[in-house]
A = this chain, B = another copy of it.
């Protein structure tokens, strides 16, 4: 099967163009008619850097590549629109393998209302997926950047963190030291391999008055720093308030790791870290609850600069991973 035939087979599996997408994959470019504002982001997954093929099925890898890209749209409060996929396939991934990768994307695309609108398929020595996603809003003012947090705002977090890092420990250590409670083993690994972009919660938070928002991909410590820097504010987080995924503490302890440290620096949870005026917190909690997520108050925004994460006793937690190349 040549490239063109494979592309044709991929296109057969794609849903028809949506209401904004006038012409999908198969031409020099896709044609869309956006109305209002767009939010566009690109995210790359590389084998051995962001995933390992021995841990993930090909559909899981395709799905995660789209999920991590969509998570950036969630953090803007944008409605997902189109995705464009650059797939570099190594020689040992055949045509069926490429289709499996795409199947994983289609599943999440369908669930989130994203149109797979175009792509590029090429040979590469290592499996590489670069996914560009375009989200939409009626007005640019509806989109939430990292830069709008103000002293006096509260800081809140959707869902639970640490789960993806605990799942990674379980995968790395196999049946070894890291042990999760029986019931949590699969869900922690799923947090690592099958992240869910918080698209609905992101839109709910944007509508509820979020002043700044970022998705937690590098770890809440590093991502809080990004938000603080772009907003030119300081951020204080109470470590005791951080909502840890169930099982994280046990896995961390079994691996000889500090659970809070793991949760703060582990990353890949793809939850949303959000700043809100204090009077908006109550409404935001209710709005996020309607999306089947939770919203937890974890800290506050102050004048100044930098990020402080305090343990219950007042000791500062130094989060790693603030400045690493991923």
Contacts and interface: CB of A to CB of B under 8 A. Distances in A.
Identify the interface centre among A36, A49, A125: most chain B CB within 10 Å of its CB.
Answer: A125
A128 B88 contact: yes
A270 to B, nearest CB: 11
A170 B73 CA distance: 46
A52 to B, nearest CB: 13
Interface in A113-142: 117-126, 128, 130, 132-135, 140
Nearest to A229: B4
Given A32-B37, A326-B123, A145 B42 contact: no
Given A122-B49, A324-B3, A29 B130 contact: no
As for how many copies of this chain the complex holds, the number is 2
Contacts of A124: 44, 46, 49, 126, 128
Identify the interface centre among A85, A126, A324: most chain B CB within 10 Å of its CB.
Answer: A126
A311 interface: no
Contacts of A60: none
A143 B88 CA distance: 28
B46 A41 contact: no
B41 A29 contact: yes
A292 interface: no
Interface in A128-175: 128, 130, 132-135, 140, 143, 145-147
Interface of A: 2-6, 22-23, 26-34, 36-44, 46, 48-50, 72-73, 75-76, 78, 82, 84-86, 88, 117-126, 128, 130, 132-135, 140, 143, 145-147, 213-215, 226, 230, 323-326
Contacts of A31: 37-39, 76, 140, 143, 145
7 tightest Cβ-Cβ pairs between the two chains A and B: A86-B130, A2-B323, A130-B130, A29-B39, A29-B41, A132-B132, A28-B75
